[in-house]
Amino acid sequence: MDDVQVQQLQARLKTELGTDRVVTLRTNVSVPATPGSRSKVQRPRWFTVIDPEPLLLERLATFADRLASLPYLTCRWDGVGRRG
């Protein structure tokens, strides 16, 4: 999911649900194309939370920090509560 798609998704959720608090955590894991291969395949995923409470944002931040410490994995915040 690219930047434009995330912005469109968040804008639609904000409009449809009448909120201005939407956060999306995007992850991308590089995995071998085949067992033992040096070639990698990207596996992007995203998690969108609507109206997160402060405790949930804190837990999401901890989750993102732990993910970011793994090899071959990146993560990025978009929206309210944005980090990194």
Q: Which strands make up the sheet holding 73-79, listed edge to edge? A: 40-50, 22-32, 73-79
Is 16 part of any domain?
Answer: yes
Average predicted confidence (pLDDT) for the chain: 87
Is 71 part of any domain?
Answer: yes
Domain that holds residue 27: 3-79
For residue 74, pLDDT over 70 is answered with yes
When divided into structural domains, the chain yields a total of 1
Contact (CB, 8 A) for 22 and 81: no
Is 84 part of any domain?
Answer: no
55: amino acid identity, one letter: L
β partners of residue 81: none
For residue 84, pLDDT over 80 is answered with no
For residue 1, pLDDT over 80 is answered with no
Phi, psi of 57 (to 5 degrees): -60, -40
Q: What is the DSSP string of 24-43?
A: EEEEEEEEESSTT-S-EEEE
pLDDT interval class at 80 (50, 70, 90): low
Give me the mean pLDDT over the 61-77 stretch: 88
